[in-house]
Amino acid sequence: MAELKVKVMKAPAPQKRSLWEQIYLPEIMRGLSVTAKHFFKNLGIHIFRLFGFKPKGRGSVTYQYPEERRPFSPRVRSLHRLTKREDGSPRCVACMMCETICPAKCIYIVGTDHPDPNIEKRPLSFDIDIGVCVFCGLCVEACPEDAIRMDTGIFEIAAFSREGMIYHIKDLLR
């Protein structure tokens, strides 16, 4: 059994306040001046914009969502899509790698024989239950054929029922 070493930490000494800080009012005025500075700077920007000028700075750090979208990183993981061959059929060979690795177990594939003898199989159905998906991206990593990607940029996924959250192969082949 290894010897346990306990390092005893000293409690930090209470912060010493100078008399100036203990008077409290000057420090409050300092705090108010910070917020007031933000107020007047942003107000100036908004007023300039109202009169058609193009001031430097945005005046806010928020995005006006439906009209204005936040730029995403190119690596962002969004709604899945199935890539296609030149003839428009899915690249997927129904190898079940993504279904196996999926930690949420939300991919359901039914494979069948491909008419082309050079290709082993094709998916008869390829369903992803987006309501269960955790967007980990492991299916994309696991795919040997580069058949599934998460680069659509769609993240507004909503449905009125749980069934509506299941995306079928025709939804994913876009």
Partner 1 sequence: MKAAIIETVIKIAITLFWVMNLGSLLTWVERKQSAVMQDRIGANRANIGPFRAIGLFQIAADSLKLIFKEDWIPPGGNKFLHTLAPIISFFFVLMSFAMIPIGNTITIGNYTVNLVIVNSSVSLLIVFALMSLGIYGIVFAGYASNNNYSLLGSLRGSAQMFSYEITFGATIIGLLLIFQTFNIQEIVMKQQGSLWGFYPKWGIFLQPLGFILFLTAGLAETKRNPFDIPEGEAEIVGYFIEYSGLKWAVFQLVDFLESVLIGALATVLFLGGWQVPFLMADGFHFGSYLFSLSPTWVTVLQIAVFFIKLSFFLWFFMLIRWSLPRFRYDQLMKLGWKMMLPLSLLNILLTAVILLIWDSYHG
Please tell me whether residue 105 binds partner 1 under the rule CB under 8 A: no
Nearer to partner 1, 35 or 118 (CB): 35
Q: How many residues bind partner 1 (CB under 8 A)?
A: 17
Please tell me whether residue 161 binds partner 1 under the rule CB under 8 A: no
Nearer to partner 1, 36 or 159 (CB): 36
For the chain, the three-class secondary structure string (H helix, E strand, C coil) is: CCCCCCCCCCCCCCCCCCHHHHCCHHHHHHHHHHHHHHHHHHHHHHHHHHCCCCCCCCCCCCCCCCCCCCCCCCCCCCCCEECECCCCCECCCCCCHHHHHCCCCCEEEEEEECCCCCCCEEEEEEEEECCCCCCCCHHHHHCCCCCEECCCCCCCCCCCCCHHHEECHHHHCC
Please tell me whether residue 83 binds partner 1 under the rule CB under 8 A: no
Please tell me whether residue 20 binds partner 1 under the rule CB under 8 A: no
Please tell me whether residue 48 binds partner 1 under the rule CB under 8 A: no
Pairing of strands 148-149, 81-82: antiparallel
Stretch that binds partner 1, among 10-18, 28-36, 82-90, 163-171 (CB under 8 A): 28-36
Tokens read off for 48: 């300039």
Q: Which one of residues 32, 124, 134, 154 is an interface residue with partner 1 (CB under 8 A)? A: 32
Q: Which one of residues 46, 49, 85, 105 is an interface residue with partner 1 (CB under 8 A)? A: 46
CB of 61 to partner 1, least distance (A): 5
Interface residues with partner 1 (CB under 8 A)?
Answer: 25, 28, 31-32, 34-36, 38-39, 42-43, 46, 59-62, 64
